[in-house]
A and B are shown apart, each in its own frame.
Chain A
Amino acid sequence: MSKPKGRSDDMMIIRGVNVFPSQIETVLIEQGYSPNYLIEVDRVNNSDTLDISVEMNPNQLSDKVKDMQKQERALAEAMKLMIGINPKVHLVSPKSIERSEGKAVRVIDKRKLHD
């Protein structure tokens, strides 16, 4: 039996793959990012999309756009290794993702709106 990946009631099925928010969080912490993130799942042309907004690390800010885009790609690559599917990572400002008391809303699944 493999190690538990997270609570089953948090589990998302994206492109047929089981994905847990806790897996995303683990990658962020490992890569030196704050564990504040927002997952947006949608369905475009019958295919699931996975967009993850991550607060950029202020210590890693570069004046060069290509360096920042490299960080986005590296993070997407690390997440793909962890969850098995390719997400789109969006870097956002520090402290711009809403903090909430208790259990934070970290997942927005827009697919349900279409069903």
Chain B
Amino acid sequence: MANVKQISVFVDNKPNQAAGAMRLIKESGVNLRALSLADTADFGIIRIIANDTEKAVDILKAASYAVTVTEVVAISIPDTPGQLSRVLDILGEADVNVEYLYSFVGTSDRSVSFVIRVDDNDRASDVLTRSGVIQLTENDIAEM
């Protein structure tokens, strides 16, 4: 199945917390492809798609950050109106629940990429493939 690995990092909702994690990643030379930050009053969860997941996880863990890796679906769709709606309809009709999603810049200016966190990756991949939606793999991410 065409899933990609997403790194989640726990940060306190205080000044300089996200900056600290980003500084470590900068120093390691890992390149980020996509990022989203979910926040609460107490803490935030930074979600990252990186070109070298293992290396990013190792350096964050070494600095005592709480880190977890989850598989998510990443897609590339044409940058025209209604494309995301179509994808969400496909998932909805298959009864796949979307927990969250975020967009990122792809390799072409005529396409846009999305990370989609669903409750059933296999089912999502399956219906997206059948509907002709392009899914990105770990290799695609590494080569971006």
Contact = CB atoms under 8 A, between A and B. Distances in A.
Nearest to A57: B66
A59 B34 CA distance: 24
Contacts of B8: 61-63
Contacts of B45: 61, 63-65, 68
Contact of A64 (B10, B12, B66, B99): B99
A92 B42 contact: yes
Nearest to B117: A63
Contact of B40 (A61, A68, A94, A96): A68
Contacts of B65: 93-94
Interface in B4-22: 6, 8, 10-12, 17
B117 A92 contact: no
Nearest to B17: A93
Contact of B12 (A58, A72, A93): A93
Nearest to B69: A63
B64 interface: yes
Contacts of A110: none
B132 to A, nearest CB: 28
Contacts of A58: 10, 66-67
Nearest to A55: B66
A95 interface: yes
B11 A65 contact: no
Given A64-B45, A64-B117, A96-B12, 10 more contacts: A56-B66, A61-B45, A61-B67, A63-B47, A63-B68, A63-B117, A64-B99, A69-B40, A93-B66, A94-B64
Interface of B: 6, 8, 10-12, 17, 38, 40, 42-43, 45, 47, 64-68, 70, 99-100, 117
Interface of A: 56, 58, 61-65, 68-69, 72, 90-96
7 contacts: A58-B66, A58-B67, A62-B8, A63-B70, A92-B42, A94-B10, A95-B64
The 5 closest A-B pairs by CB, nearest first: A58-B66, A63-B8, A61-B68, A90-B42, A61-B66
